[in-house]
Amino acid sequence: MPRTAFFISDGTGITAETLGRSLLAQFENVEIRMVTKPYIDSPDKARSLVAVIEAAAVRDGEQPIVIDTIVDNEIRSIISTAPGFKVDIFSTFLAPLEEELATHSTYTVGRTHSIGHDGVYMNRIDSVHFALDNDDGARTHQYDKADVILVGVSRCGKTPTSLYLALQFGIRAANYPLTEDDQDEDGTLKLPRCLAPHRHKLFGLTIDPRRLAAIRSERRPNSRYCSIDQCTQEVQQAEALYRQMHIPHIDTTRFSIEEISTRMIAETGLQRRFSPR
């Protein structure tokens, strides 16, 4: 039977879930059912959740894993009565930090993911709007305002990477698809004219043609667009262009969006406007 892990918070639950998933990902041989419980911000909600945890313990025949970022002492005390292996993130780390910094924590709910007063939230929104407005080569006249311009064949991961860079780091990312319209008469892929003035901002994405064909098949099955020959040709031409124009690039085949983004930032030295939340 799988073990159940609860990620509990009196806020969004993002911190508890992110850290919990990172820790549990190290145990590949254990089947774990993950449950996120945000906004446990009252004693009544806490007591109801204790009953849910108790039911999971009976069902699984094993004590659940309980990872929480509860700030309120009363709510934390109620949660502590539930059966389970407890990982109390705030109590584990805040007390030593209080000692080191010689001051007390504010113990404020929702500080990590709140809007705040430093403009970070609006910067995030502006960056996401920029990514959406400049998706898929939509507005090439705004490239002078871009921090980076992702290029690559259709469906290689440009759009989700652009949005992740905007949401997590405040990076203004545009993206441009390399298509047959950018080929010379002899069929050679050339650098599009709209990108030439911004070569220093370009970053290429590539992908294994078989993986690309599988992705495209979900969108347009049994079409030339998703054929392995077409995918192979497009990827080879894109990679040749990267080499010719000295465009830094990364193979997205086996990387998550998070890995693609952080590797790209590390390689290019892009400045984050804020740290991920």
Q: How much of the chain is in helix, strand and coil states, percent to nearest 5?
A: 50, 15, 35
Q: Is 231 annotated as a binding residue?
A: no
Q: Give the model's pLDDT for residue 274.
A: 67
CA–CA distance, 184 with 177 (Å, rounded to integer): 16
In sequence order, what are the residues at sequence separation of 6 or more whose Cβ sits closer than 8 angstroms to the Cβ of residue 139? 133, 174
- Looking at residue 118, its pLDDT comes to 62
What the block records as the tokens of 71 is: 């700030």
The pLDDT of residue 106: 66
The annotation status of 159 as a binding-site residue, yes or no, is yes
Q: Is 153 annotated as a binding residue?
A: yes
pLDDT of residue 1: 77
Domains and CATH numbers, the chain: 3-113 (no CATH), 118-268 (3.40.50)
> What are the 10-residue block averages of pLDDT along the chain, 277 residues in total?
93 88 91 95 96 96 94 92 91 80 70 57 88 92 96 96 93 96 92 96 98 95 96 97 97 94 92 70
Q: Is 226 annotated as a binding residue?
A: no
According to the annotation, is 269 in a ligand binding site?
no
Instruction: Supply φ then ψ for residue 46, to 5 degrees.
Output: -65, -45
Q: Which two tokens mark 110? A: 């929702």
* SS3 label, residue 271: coil
What is the CB neighbour count within 10 angstroms for residue 48?
A: 13
Check whether 116 is labelled as a binding-site residue: no
Q: What is the pLDDT of residue 18?
A: 87
Is 157 annotated among the ligand-binding residues? Answer: yes
154 is in an annotated binding site: yes
Neighbour count for residue 131 (Cβ, 10 Å): 25
Output the pLDDT for position 111.
Answer: 52
